[in-house]
Amino acid sequence: MYVGNADSGGGTRSGPPSEILRALRDAVAAAASGEEREAPLHALGLSSLSIVDGDGRDVVRLGEPLASGCDVLRRALDAGSARFELALAPPVTDDVSSPIALLLETLLYRADGLPAPSDFAEGWRRVGVVTGDASMCEPYRRLQHFAPQSVTVLVLGESGSGKEAVARAVHTLSARAGGPFVSVNVPAIPAGLLESELFGHARGAFTGAERDRRGLLEEASGGTIFFDEIGDLTSALQAKLLRALQEREIRRVGENRARAVDLRVVSATSRDLAKEVEAGRFREDLYYRLHVGIIALPPLRDRGRDILLLARHFLDRYAKEFGRGPLRFTPEAQPALLAHGWPGNVRELQNAVCQAAALAEPRGTVSAELLPGSVRRPARPSAVVGDYRSRVAAHRRRLVREALERSGGNRSRAAKDLGLSRQALLYLMKELGVTMARRP
């Protein structure tokens, strides 16, 4: 731990050594850009360092979480017109805290890479969605507009991209938040049982129907019903659902009595419903009934900044769940996470981190070797034209080239544009075979 350095006159020179301050600066800058780097907190007598903006939102947090009631030194940071607050725990002497504060003020003033969480990121966090990537700004704007109104919402996105989380957010932010939220995973229910599950049945309607039973549409009355992968509904059920939505009433299987329902419908699909309509597999009238408020989610591979953000979120969750204590990714694991195409999106990332946390040593690190083989080994391009992975690689290659074009070949600016670290961008360029000479 730093206690002071001898000067040429035999006394002590106040303040931490410059190499420790440089290491701290680099760790703070890395944390703000989504990377993880060892911070020399122990050498400064610290266990925790955090910076919050003027609204109290986290900008950077390093070290152990602050325990409730622990002693903390707080200092104001002025960065031009912006104001921040620095928190150090445990409190350190002024000859340590002042150089740290000055260093961070300079960093905050000079660099635009330490932004406070944006409104959309904070808004998503309040409804349980972890994100910080700009690609999630437009979906949040639409969520804000659609949720309070009684419009039918259709969430589009690849499998595993978080469509149900968005559907729950629509419900949470609506006037129906106090009512039930009923989720229907259409492909998971056998087609022969789905009608009874949705509409309920009367006693004796079929073999095994020993009593009257409410369906999921009735259960959702007064709240929201969410149809996940609604494109998988059979034609017969599409017609019956359309009638129920138009008439606001349902009839249980084996019963003639109409029962009123008051519900809001949120649907999700990974299919192109317009093409399904053209192919005759989805009713056009139901399509227009559902295709009102559209929220399209980008795939995880296009949410560059979110990959490490989500990975650390899941790592913290599973470290706590498995009793592993604090865990962190090694520097080598991070490029592997960023370079993977994540065809399974957030669900695949969550499962990969769950495995790694289960394999990690208590209070240890998660190296690339603990990640699934599909993540740590870049996929080889397939020889089949149009193969899924080759198309994903082509898409990623195009994104990298476009960012390099916009930056005039400047790798640092291109990395920032993509929400990546410079190291991760170089890793991607090598993996994807992207080369570009820097312009003069």
Please answer whether residues 408 and 316 qualify as being in contact, where contact means their C-beta atoms are separated by less than 8 angstroms: no
307: CATH:
1.10.8.60
Q: Evaluate whether 336 touches 295 at the Cβ level (below 8 Å).
A: no
Mind listing the pLDDT tens digit for each residue in 382-426? Answer: 444 345 556 677 777 888 888 887 777 788 888 777 877 777 777
Same domain, 137 and 249: yes
200 and 141 in one domain? yes
- pLDDT of residue 379 exceeding 80, the answer is no
Percentage of the chain modeled with pLDDT above 90: 45
Band the pLDDT of 310: cuts 50, 70, 90.
very high
Q: Do residue 396 and residue 371 come from a single domain?
A: no
Per residue, the 3-state secondary structure of 372-388, as one string, reads: CHHHHCCCCCCCCCCCH
On whether both 324 and 351 belong to a single domain, the answer is yes
Query: pLDDT digit string (tens) for 207-222?
Result: 676 778 888 999 999 9
Residue 21 contacts residue 100 (beta carbons within 8 Å): yes
Model confidence, pTM = 0.64
Residue 6 has pLDDT above 50, yes or no: no
Note whether residue 292 is domain-resident. yes
208 and 82 together in one domain = no
Least confident of 6-15, 168-177, 189-198: 6-15
List, in order, residues 6 or more apart from 200 with CB less than 8 Å away.
212, 213, 214, 215, 217, 218, 250, 252, 253
Total domain count, the chain:
4
Position 407 scores a pLDDT of 79
Condensed to tens digits (0 to 9), the pLDDT of residues 330-341 reads 878 888 898 899
Asked if residue 39 and residue 17 are part of one domain, the reply reads: yes
Name the percent of the chain lying above pLDDT 70: 84
Q: Which of 228, 262, 296 is the last residue of a domain?
A: 296
Coil, strand or helix at 249: strand
